[in-house]
Amino acid sequence: MTSTTLFWIFSLISLLSACMVVSLSNAVYSVLFLIIVFCNTAGILLLLGAEFLSFLFLIVYVGAIAVLFLFVVMMLNIKTNSVKINYTTIILIGFLISLILSFQFLAAIQIDFEVYSNLGIDLAKTNFPTITIWIQENNLPSNVESIGLVLYTSYSLVFILCAFILLLAMIGSIVLTMNQRSGVKKQQISLQLYRNQNEVIRFVDLRKN
């Protein structure tokens, strides 16, 4: 199975899952199909040679955000209501948005490279973009290595500041959500270790003469 076949399979499953996300009335099923969309998008990015973005999708979106959505939806116990929705307006708006995005996508890339070769135009001597399959460039460093070198050298201070801000946010959320109750007995290990056994143990003679 070639990479092109895998690309079309992942793309088809992603589109079908995305349609199921917006069409299902059950929020739990929608989140599950959203996870499928993220997994297939990660597979597409991996085929295109963007390993860092692919692993980022799996770790951040699937491993954190989507699972968080799933737990929140299951805990809220959302009930479906019988509100009538005008699907004609939704389909029209969706078609217009899809049309605009398609025009932007086609304007951003060149999809008809064979026309220029048939006309005898050398793409190397023109300003037209060319496609480079980066996964076949074995001698070059991967994008994970390139991003790591840039992130930990040129932007190391910004990276440390972002980590410090996230640490403060995590500590703040933990402190705000702590429910401190008064009168709760707590275990004090230091007092237990320094206790004298002669003061805490008492022998009682149960035999009666």
Instruction: Report pLDDT for 28.
Output: 82
Which residues of the chain fall short of a pLDDT of 50?
Answer: 111-119, 121-123
Residue 13 is which amino acid?
Answer: I
Instruction: Report pLDDT for 23.
Output: 83
User: How far is it, in rounded angstroms, from Cα 47 to Cα 4?
Assistant: 9
Contact 17, 33 (CB under 8 A): yes
Segments making up each domain of the chain, as ranges = 1-80, 141-175
Q: Is 56 exposed, middle or buried (0-12, 13-18, 19+ CB in 10 A)?
A: middle
Instruction: Report pLDDT for 164.
Output: 92
Its CATH class, for the domain covering 1-80, is mainly alpha
Instruction: Report pLDDT for 121.
Output: 47
Instruction: Report pLDDT for 119.
Output: 46
Alpha carbon distances (Å) from 62 to 22, 86, 124: 18, 32, 40
Say what the pTM is. Answer: 0.52
Instruction: Report pLDDT for 190.
Output: 77
Tokens of 40: 């297939």
Cα angle 121, 122, 124 (rounded to 5 degrees) comes to 145
Instruction: Report pLDDT for 116.
Output: 45
The interaxial angle of helices 27-47 and 3-23, nearest 10 deg, is 160
